[in-house]
Structure 1
Amino acid sequence: METGSAPQPRSASLVLAAAALLLLMAGGFLLVRGLQPAPVSAAPMPNETFALPAESVPDPVPSSTPMVSVDAGIAQHGPGPASTEPGQRPQIPTGPLPDNSVMIPAVGVQAELESLGLAPDASLLLPADVDKVTHWTGSAPMDASDGGILVAGHVDNADQGHGALYWMHTLHPGDAVYLTEAGVATRWKVIRMETFVKEKLPDWAFQSAGGPRELHLVTCGGPIVTDSAGRGSYLENVVVTAVPF
């Protein structure tokens, strides 16, 4: 006669079933935990900074090239890092340029401009929607021959994800930027990529009318730090400067 395992008491079976259920729940919890994004502790920073004379940076396209093209020769892409290969970075938007917008084809940016000024503490106000960017109201006119224009946006947001300028830190010298307002379209080429501790933007970022004709694009970067009130903020600003071409 074969002798199998002795039947277990009912109480022991219930204990084993409960233990198995707990293990299953724990495994599911660990799986869900593993699928959660890691908490953000820092915003991206440029691999290298640069500051070049405008005349040493070739125009991204000939100045006679129309500002839009139905076929730029390079596939357009959504937001993402700029290619390290110059021939793979699009420099001309496809389709009509939307009004009141900034476009950076090399990183797939097309963001609406929102005219905003300064807060009571003199900090620059930013849109609540991270897909939009601030066009500082103190900027020089879009069609002026001199003076600076300041555009700034969130790098990201815990609830909304990447901001419009998230990939700005990957731009290269000569990459094209297009800016439109009230029917006026302008185009620029990148000549500087700089970083600054966030206590204060350089005065030249707020140069307004007069002075060099420059476009300054600003977003956050670096590690998160906590102020005395317990509020978290990125430590640095990433600033890209471009000039007309």
Structure 2
Amino acid sequence: MIRMIRSLLGAALLIPTAALAQAEAEPPAVSIAYNAAIVSDYRFRGISYTNRKPAVQGGADISFHSGLFAGTWLSSISNYGGAHAEIDLYGGYAGSVGGWNYSATVLGYFYPNGVDTDYVETQATLAHTIGPVTATATVAYTPKQWNTGDNLYTSLGADVAVLGTPLTASVNVGRENGSYDEKWDWSAGLTYTIDRLEISATYIDSNYKSPLEAGRNARATALLSVKATF
């Protein structure tokens, strides 16, 4: 993560030690983070966007002390309406109250050179941590647009830190209705973190069945990923 760093060397003799310590303890006004990953399959809500093949992904995020944030994320994908890449742009607000963390986000999904593919979604999350367990509820709503109808996706997940180890176990279940009729997806995985590197293995499956390619792309899989943040 790249952070704004202000040099206090020139003012060190003028600022009392206690005040200097307090200033250093304050969070930065702006934080910027980058990420890059290689995955064995790009799955979005249980369905492969790469025809069950590997993908290269990356993104950048900027967050402000006020709680506002914005970012972008991209991934290689299989042919989707003529597009071979997905680019997400998003922004929103995040905060916490009474031990609960929340966020509200507007996301745009863009597929360069795709025909009738781009759309906008709103999303809200609520998370709470008890000991090593962080539970997160997500509600994502896509309002009716010129190329898509209403779609609602809800999910509930939990991350459990395995005490004394660099491992985190994760489980998630989601339900989608609109673009799909009563589609459920679920996953369970394990992530090993070392410094800024995350190595994950995840089992993903769904109840979506179809003789078309989308049905085959929703079958169970073991997904492997390597992600770096900086």
Normalised by the size of structure 1, how large is the TM-score? 0.31
Write 1 or 2 for the structure with the bigger share of strand.
Answer: 2
Structure with more of its chain in helix, by fraction: 1
Larger RCO (CA under 8 A, 6+ residues apart):
1
TM-score (norm 2): 0.32
- Who wins on radius of gyration, i.e. which is larger? 1
